[in-house]
Structure 1
Amino acid sequence: MPRTHHRKQETLPEKDDGCRLDKWLWAARFFKTRSLAAAAVEGGKVRIDGDRAKNAREMKPGLRVTIKNKDMQIEVEVLALSNVRRGAPEAALLYRETDESQRLRQQAQETGADQFAERDRGLGRPTKRQMRDIQRFTGRD
């Protein structure tokens, strides 16, 4: 009797199927793990149409999702739903970044605003003297 291999068939959800916010963020590759996505939602780092959301929020195409990370802030429009994490090219089909978000990210990259307080690793905290110089330079006396 020949052996048959049974593999679990993973497919994208049908139009009727629902998709939780934390699963969608993970599937769209904004976060490495679903638990990191859930923690970001709980911490208020993810907003849907300007309002705070919960992990179990039902996602629908057309929603605007704003995601704040330590490195970036991005606003996207949901185009499709998925509960399955796939490769980056397929994940990019789940959303479209807004023009305003692209412009702001480009502007931050050009001005170096995203690297404002960056320090070389291992240097530790600034000394008292360095803090006074920083405060004087930034105008926060």
Structure 2
Amino acid sequence: MRPSDVPRAREWGSPWDDSRCGGRPEPGRPSASCRTVVGMSADQATVRIDSWIWSVRLTKTRSLAASACRAGHVRINGERVKPAHPVRNGDQVRLRIAGRERIVVVSRLVNKRVGPPVAVECYVDHSPPPPADTGVSPTGDRRRDAGRLTNRERRELDRLRGRPSR
């Protein structure tokens, strides 16, 4: 076989399909915003869960995403998963981060970090709303030279702090 008989990469086309992302890939190079594998159906294409969580900006770093998986804070369709577990379109991902549970359904797979407007299009968010901020809670601060508390003042402070009185 001669080298001229072997098809070039340009003749084969890019292995990535960017038409759904609105990107115009350069010949032979996939665009950075969306990388959907061509030749696989939507339910066959997969991406690592830690990479996907980081790519769609649910965590700040990929190592935080992997740590969350190892700690059991990530579930796919109800199952605890390891960082290398594949995620597919239509999977429900539950992620517990910073005391809040995020429930998202995968609508598009990406394996590179994308901007916030594109990231929001990659999942459907079913998370409960974050708890309302009650503002500044009273602390019951006192002047340093006020002396020892009376029983009445101690009971008032306990009531403010939500502790039962003695």
Choose from 74, 81, 84 the match for 2:112.
Answer: 84
Q: Which residue of 1 aligns with 2:158?
A: 133
Q: Is 1:109 the counterpart of 2:132 in the alignment?
A: yes
Alpha-carbon distance, 1:68 to partner: 0.8
> SS state of the match for residue 105, structure 1?
coil
Q: Which residue of 2 aligns with 1:43?
A: 71
Greater C-alpha Rg: 2
Check the 8 A contact 2:158/2:164 in 1, yes or no: no
Q: Which residue of 1 aligns with 2:56?
A: 28
Check the 8 A contact 1:46/1:52 in 2, yes or no: yes
Q: Is 1:97 the counterpart of 2:121 in the alignment?
A: no
Check the 8 A contact 1:65/1:75 in 2, yes or no: yes
Greater RCO (CA < 8 Å, at least 6 residues apart): 1
More helix by share: 1
Alignment length (residue pairs): 115
Q: After TM superposition, where is structure 1 displaced by more than 6 Å over at least 4 residues in a row?
A: none
Alpha-carbon distance, 1:51 to partner: 1.6
Check the 8 A contact 1:73/1:105 in 2, yes or no: no
Q: Give the 3 Å change call, closer, same or farther, for CA 62–109 of structure 1 in structure 2.
A: same
Alpha-carbon distance, 1:133 to partner: 3.0
> SS state of the match for residue 76, structure 1?
strand
> SS state of the match for residue 46, structure 2?
coil
TM-score (norm 2): 0.57
Identity %: 32
Q: Give the 3 Å change call, closer, same or farther, for CA 138–65 of structure 1 in structure 2.
A: farther
Alpha-carbon distance, 1:109 to partner: 2.0
Q: Distance in 1 between matches of 2:47 and 2:165?
A: 46
Choose from 67, 74, 81 the match for 1:53.
Answer: 81
> SS state of the match for residue 109, structure 1?
coil
Structure 2 unmatched runs, 5+: 1-27, 140-153
TM-score (norm 1): 0.67
Alpha-carbon distance, 1:30 to partner: 0.7
